[in-house]
Amino acid sequence: KDFTTVCTTELGYMAGIEDKFKARNTKLIGLSIDPVGNHEKWSDDIEAALSHRPRYPMIGDTDLAVAKLYNMLPAEEPGTSEGRTAATNATVRSVFVIGPDKKIKLMMTYPMTTGRNFDEIVRVVDSMQLTAKHKVATPVNWKQGEDVIIAGSVSDDDAKKLFPQGWAAPRPYLRIVPQPKG
């Protein structure tokens, strides 16, 4: 919903880091159940409060179709955006990462009182792009440039070809290598 406290801070922050997503060949899009005409006024407020103006598209989901399609609101939720308040939209606090194949790769839902962590979303995008290109997985709290894990689907014989420098293995199933380049 437009003109809500936490969402205002989030959209402003996203506007400030949009270049990080562009650098990863990733597009941002926002969704609100309010009409598109309200988004421009809200963008003015966001820029005034946070010094960053959202330039990415924002969907006006006045009939709640997108929110229901992505399970942000129950399918049986009655009505449209008309007369809804921030409290009646408590579940519409989701983040989706949708891959080039148009399939959902990540879905996170936050409570109304907790701001979404978009630095984490950047980290997840980095991980997903890396693991799609190389046969690795990223461990807990991984950050760009840190060691990764050889994917469990890779046999030791195949791993020797992919990672001729070898790996550390604190357990036979936990094979750690430096993050592949490129």
Residues designated as active site: 7
* Nearest in space to 162 (alpha carbons), one of 133, 126, 139: 133
DSSP string, 15-69: HHTHHHHHHTT----EEESS-HHHHHHHHHHHHHHHS----S-EEE-TT-HHHHH
Roughly what angle, to the nearest 10 degrees, separates helices 5-16 and 36-50?
A: 70
Eight-class DSSP state of 67: H
- Name beta bridge partners: 58: 30
